[in-house]
Structure 1
C-alpha cells in the first residue's frame, strides 16, 4: 500500500512539474481587440417606418451616410465580422506545437455554417492575428478572411478584411486605439476596394466623458462630402455638419425623438 501511494505521489509530482514547464513555455496571453475595432455599433441609426415619416432630415442624413459603411460590414463583409464577434466570448488554448494562442468556434451566416480559427502569435510586446474561416457548404477551407496586429495589452492595433475566397484582396483596413480606462477609443476604417468609394473612410470615436459620447467623421470620395456626426448613445440626440449637403458650416441637430431642432449655442 505504501509503495502504491509513493508511486501515485511521484506521478502527481511529475505531472505537475511537466505542466509547469508547459506553462512556462507559453507566450503571454494577449488581450483580444475590442468588438468595435472591426464592427462599430451603429444601431442608433436604425428607425421604424413611423419615425421616417416625421421631420428627421438631420438624423436621416446622418443615418444614410453611416449606412454606407454599415452595409459593407453587415453585408459584404458579414462573414469575417460575424466570425470575429463569435470568438470574443470563447476561451483560448495554447497550441504548443505551433506556438500560438487559438480561439475556435462555429457560427451561422445566411443559413450557412462556418467555423473560425483565430490565432495570436505573440512576438515580444506585439501580436499577429490571423482569422481562418471554413465552410463545407460553401467549399471554403481555412481562408484567411481577416488578419491584423495589436499590442499585447489590446490598446491599439490594425485589421485588414479581405473580400472573399474568390477575390482575396483587401476591402477594408482599420486602425484602432483606446486608453487604459477604455473611456476613450477610436477606430478608423478605410475602403481599399477598387471603385467609386476607394479611399473613403469613416472614423468612429468613443468619449464617455462627453455629453455627445459617440461620433463619426465620414469622407466620401464619390460625393466629395466630408461629414461630422456627434450623438448621445443613451438618449439618441445629436448633430451633423456637412457643407456640401446643407450649404453651410453649421451643425444641424436632432432631439431624443430624432426630430429636427435648433442647435443650442
Structure 2
C-alpha cells in the first residue's frame, strides 16, 4: 500500500496555521528569583524528537538505516506536521517563551512578576514581556511581543495561559499573529515526576485567513504517557479535505525500544492495529 500523497496537503494546510511555588519575603530579589516559577517549556512545545527519530542516540538511528515501512512512516508524518507548526509557523512566540528561562523576573506589582528581554535567534529584533500574576487559585500568564525594523509591529498579546498552584497542570492559548490576533491553538497540559504526562493541542481558530469558517476547527493532537509495553500514545483528530469529514489516527509506541503500532481507518481502510519493529520495519501485530 502506498502512502497517499493527500496526507501532506491535508495536514500542511491544517497546521499552517508553559511548578509554581510561593515563599513570602521582604527581600524583593528573593521574591523575583524564587517566588514564581515558570511552567516547563515543554508545556508549550513537548519534545517529539524521539518519535520523529531526530535525536543523536545511535539506537534510534537504526530506524533511519532500515527500510522503513508505512506503519511507522505514516504516523511519523502526521506527528511531524504538528512539530513543524510549533517550531516554524509559531516559532516567535514559542522561542519567546523559551527565552524567559534565561532571564530574571522583577516584581512589578502586588503578586505580579515580569520577565522582559530581547528574543535571541532572529535577524529582526523582537522584544518579549512575560507577566505572571499569582491569584488565590492559580497563576495567570501573559506574553506580549513587539518587533522593530522591517515589518515592525507594536506590542500585542501573542499568548496567555494559567497554571495551577502546584505547577503540575495548566493551559495556554496562542494567537495567530499581530495582524490577526485571534485564538489559533489551545494547549492543555499536565506534569508528573518532572515530565510532561499529557498534552493536547487543539485547533480553535474560527475563521481562516480568507475570513471563512475554518474547517479545521475542532482538530487536535493529544500526547500522553501510559503503562504497558506501549508507554506513549498520540491521538490525532483532523479534518480531511478530500473526504470532507474528520478522521482519526491513534498511535502507541515504546519510547525505549522504539517499536509501535498505528490505527488509522481512513489511511489503512480497516480498524486494525498496524505495527512496526525497533528498526521501523512493518511487522505483523501480535
TM range (shorter): 0.7 to 0.9
Give me the TM-score of the superposition, normalised by structure 1: 0.80
Q: In terms of mean alpha carbon deviation, does 195-204 or 160-169 score higher? A: 195-204
Question: Of residues 219, 225, 236 in structure 1, which corresponds to 2:237?
Answer: 219
Alpha-carbon distance in 1 for matches of 2:279, 2:121: 33
2:64 matches 1:45: no
Alpha-carbon distance in 2 for matches of 1:106, 1:231: 39
Residue of structure 2 in register with 1:100 after alignment: 112
Question: Of residues 29, 39, 42 in structure 2, which corresponds to 1:36?
Answer: 42
TM-superposed CA distance for 1:39, in Å, is 0.8
Question: Of residues 146, 169, 190 in structure 2, which corresponds to 1:134?
Answer: 146
Q: Is the 8 A contact 2:111 2:135 kept in 1?
A: no
Residue of structure 1 in register with 2:191 after alignment: 178
2:263 matches 1:244: no
Number of equivalent positions: 241
Q: Is the 8 A contact 1:212 1:231 kept in 2?
A: yes
3-state SS in 1 of match to 2:26: helix
3-state SS in 1 of match to 2:141: strand
Shift of the 89–262 alpha-carbon distance from structure 1 to 2, 3 Å rule, reads farther
TM-superposed CA distance for 1:240, in Å, is 0.9
Residue of structure 1 in register with 2:132 after alignment: 120
Larger RCO, structures 1/2 (Cα 8 Å, 6+ apart):
2
- The structure having more radius of gyration, on CA atoms, is 1
TM-superposed CA distance for 1:132, in Å, is 1.0
Question: Of residues 58, 75, 84 in structure 2, which corresponds to 1:62?
Answer: 75
Shift of the 113–56 alpha-carbon distance from structure 1 to 2, 3 Å rule, reads farther
3-state SS in 2 of match to 1:88: helix
Alpha-carbon distance in 2 for matches of 1:231, 1:253: 9
3-state SS in 2 of match to 1:83: helix
State the Cα RMSD in Å: 2.8
Question: Of residues 68, 71, 88 in structure 1, which corresponds to 2:101?
Answer: 88
1:45-104 alpha-carbon deviations (Å, 9 max, x no partner): 2569x9499342011110121123222212221111111122234332322x46411223
Shift of the 54–112 alpha-carbon distance from structure 1 to 2, 3 Å rule, reads farther
> Structure 2 regions of 5+ residues with no counterpart?
1-24, 55-60, 208-213
Alpha-carbon distance in 1 for matches of 2:178, 2:110: 24
> Structure 1 regions of 5+ residues with no counterpart?
1-19
Residue of structure 2 in register with 1:6 after alignment: none
1:173-223 alpha-carbon deviations (Å, 9 max, x no partner): 1111223x346611111101232322100111134x544332210001225
Question: Of residues 206, 217, 224 in structure 1, which corresponds to 2:225?
Answer: 206
3-state SS in 2 of match to 1:158: strand
Give me the TM-score of the superposition, normalised by structure 2: 0.74
